[in-house]
């Protein structure tokens, strides 16, 4: 018996004839008290001394490993590459600097033949106007979602509004249509995010801005200015708030041009580009109310001198 093994009790003995006894001993490895082995000896029945050690005849599927595999299965697991998926790239996916010390062969081959491919997502929107009118609301909006799948399964598809998750979208394929039916009347940004086991991937964003209308039109000379009069003028709201310019063509007969906005008009140009700001000499303030917006919004108006024009283009800068 090796020095580092300790014999435990004989757990079974039996005799095949008068002179020979078989014994089954359980051995404990001296370096690991949990590891046990079995040894079978032929003993001299009289003296109890071992005559010879007997080799045990068994089948490969009778040898079991701690993970439950028999010998053939364990050999397959250790030496045969068992991944049945088709490759997702034409080259290996192992980045420079990767170490493989004590890495199972299967993991190495997975990295070589099945590199991680990130998914991507893009969206389009049924609402094509970016700039909307303050005081109005959007009752629904449909997003068409296109997913380019990667090497891993998609585990989640979500719609976000202003960085807050507002809907979980069912994965029905690479092209998905989803309608968001919660009404909104304030500036909002939408995007779709998809996830796999490695991370989250974000679509482009759609931002909708509710602009205060720029009111432009004509009024009679000396007319009383009220909220109803201002809101009865032509409205321009599809403008970029960072570039406040509005153009409009008007026709009037012995009337005055009027413009109203939340900011003072800086300049007014005619169709030839001439500055006619000085002709808008009558100015004042008025409070307007808008649905969905608390309180009043202060508007500033400017009225031109009496004039008669046909299809006269005015450009207002604020």
CATH classification of the domain holding 124: 2.60.40.10
In a domain, 66, yes or no: no
Q: What confidence score (pLDDT) does residue 9 get?
A: 45
Confidence of residue 200 (pLDDT cuts 50, 70, 90): very high
Torsion of CA 102, 107, 108, 111, to 10 degrees: -140
In a domain, 67, yes or no: no
In a domain, 68, yes or no: no
- My answer on whether 20 and 102 are in the same domain is no
- My answer on whether 205 and 173 are in the same domain is yes
Residue that finishes a domain, picked among 209, 244, 273: 209
Average pLDDT over residues 262-280: 93
With 0-12 CB in 10 A as exposed, 13-18 as middle and 19+ as buried, what is 95? Answer: exposed
Residues whose CB is less than 8 angstroms from the CB of residue 220 and which lie 6 or more positions away in sequence, other chains included: 255, 256
- My answer on whether 277 and 306 are in the same domain is yes
Residue that finishes a domain, picked among 113, 144, 178: 113
Total domains, the chain:
4
- My answer on whether 220 and 287 are in the same domain is yes
- My answer on whether 305 and 222 are in the same domain is yes
Q: What confidence score (pLDDT) does residue 5 get?
A: 46
- My answer on whether 153 and 124 are in the same domain is yes
Give the residue ranges of DSSP H helices in the chain. Answer: 71-79, 105-113, 227-231
- My answer on whether 134 and 169 are in the same domain is yes
| Span 39-87, pLDDT tens digits | 666 777 677 777 776 666 666 677 777 788 887 777 777 766 666 777 6
- My answer on whether 96 and 48 are in the same domain is no
Q: What confidence score (pLDDT) does residue 8 get?
A: 46
The most confident of 87-101, 106-120, 170-184, 236-250, by mean pLDDT: 170-184
Domain of 204, in residue numbers: 120-209
- My answer on whether 145 and 105 are in the same domain is no
| pTM summary value | 0.67
Residue that finishes a domain, picked among 193, 209, 225: 209
CA proximity to 22, closest of 10, 13, 30: 13
- My answer on whether 244 and 260 are in the same domain is yes
In a domain, 128, yes or no: yes
Average pLDDT over residues 2-11: 48
Q: Which residues of 63-91 are buried (b: 16+ CB within 10 A; e: fewer)?
A: eeeeeebeeeebeeeeeeeeeeeeeeeee
């Amino acid at each position: 018996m090796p020095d580092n093994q300790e014999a435990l009790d004989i757990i079974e003995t039996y005799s095949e004839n008068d002179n020979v006894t078989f014994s089954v001993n359980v051995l404990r490895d001296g370096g690991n008290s949990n590891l046990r082995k079995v040894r079978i000896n032929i003993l001299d029945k009289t003296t109890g001394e071992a005559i010879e050690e007997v080799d045990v005849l068994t089948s490969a599927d009778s040898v079991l490993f701690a993970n439950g595999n028999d010998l053939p299965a364990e050999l397959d697991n250790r030496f045969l590459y068992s991944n049945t998926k088709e490759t997702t790239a034409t080259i290996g996916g192992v980045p420079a600097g990767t170490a493989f010390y004590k890495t199972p062969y299967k993991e190495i081959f997975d990295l070589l033949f099945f590199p991680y491919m990130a998914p991507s997502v893009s969206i389009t929107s049924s609402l094509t106007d970016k700039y909307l009118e303050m005081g109005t609301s959007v009752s629904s909006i449909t997003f068409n979602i296109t997913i380019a799948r990667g090497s891993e399964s998609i585990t989640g598809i979500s719609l976000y509004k202003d960085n807050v998750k507002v809907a979980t979208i069912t994965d029905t394929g690479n092209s998905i249509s989803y309608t968001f039916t919660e009404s909104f009347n304030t500036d909002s940004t939408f995007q779709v995010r998809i996830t796999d086991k490695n991370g989250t991937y974000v679509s482009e964003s759609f931002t909708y801005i509710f602009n205060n209308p720029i009111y432009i039109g004509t009024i009679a000379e000396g007319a009383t200015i009220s909220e109803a009069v201002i809101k009865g003028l032509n409205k321009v709201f599809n403008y970029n708030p960072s570039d406040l310019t509005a153009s409009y063509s008007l026709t009037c007969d012995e009337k005055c041009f009027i413009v109203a906005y939340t900011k003072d008009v800086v300049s007014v140009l005619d169709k030839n580009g001439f500055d006619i700001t000085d002709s808008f000499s009558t100015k004042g303030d008025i409070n307007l109310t808008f649905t969905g917006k608390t309180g009043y919004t202060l508007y500033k108006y400017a009225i031109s001198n009496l004039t008669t024009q046909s299809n006269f283009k005015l450009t207002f800068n604020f």
